[in-house]
């Protein structure tokens, strides 16, 4: 099974995870079918609380917009795969994730298609060297 969290705002991927408060959780079975969906509110206090909450929820992948280096490193330390610099309507991004279509230029944040491509690919593969 896979469980992903999508940081969202107004039915779109939130532009910056560090200030995001809402998550949409999707759990897939081994055949890729959705078996559970839920909405969750993240704590508003310290950034580490967000990461701890993701770990408590059993999230293995976080799909988000921009994210600070410190939060990237904390997520990596907890074994949470990161798919950053994503933009788009929540249902479309979820569908792309389900079909292994992230990262894709169609869902890259504006101004990030070329510059962030290697960063998105490295972090999506679990890389830690983000610059």
Q: CB of 124 within 8 A of CB of 72? A: no
129 within some domain: no
Domain that holds residue 75: 2-124
Rounded to 5°, the CA angle 14-49-13 comes to: 10
101 within some domain: yes
Number of domains in the chain: 1
User: What does the pLDDT look like over 54-88, one tens digit per residue?
Assistant: 999 999 999 999 999 999 999 999 999 999 999 99
44 vs 62: CA distance, rounded Å: 18
User: What does the pLDDT look like over 19-56, one tens digit per residue?
Assistant: 999 999 999 999 989 999 999 999 887 889 999 999 99
pLDDT at 29: 93
131 within some domain: no
CATH code for the domain in which residue 42 is found: 3.30.420.130
For the cut 80, the answer to whether the pLDDT of residue 116 exceeds it is no
115 within some domain: yes
């Amino acid at each position: 099974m896979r469980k992903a969290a999508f940081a969202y705002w107004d039915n779109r991927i939130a532009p910056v995870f560090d200030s995001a408060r809402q998550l949409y959780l999707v759990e897939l079975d081994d055949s890729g079918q959705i078996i559970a969906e839920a909405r969750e509110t993240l704590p508003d206090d310290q950034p580490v609380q967000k990461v701890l909450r993701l770990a408590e929820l059993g999230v293995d992948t976080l799909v988000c917009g921009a994210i600070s280096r410190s939060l990237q490193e904390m997520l990596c330390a907890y074994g949470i795969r990161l798919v950053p610099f994503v933009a788009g309507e929540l249902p479309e991004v979820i569908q792309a994730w389900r079909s292994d279509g992230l990262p894709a230029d169609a869902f890259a944040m504006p101004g990030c298609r070329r510059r962030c491509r290697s960063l998105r690919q490295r972090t999506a593969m679990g890389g830690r060297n983000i610059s």
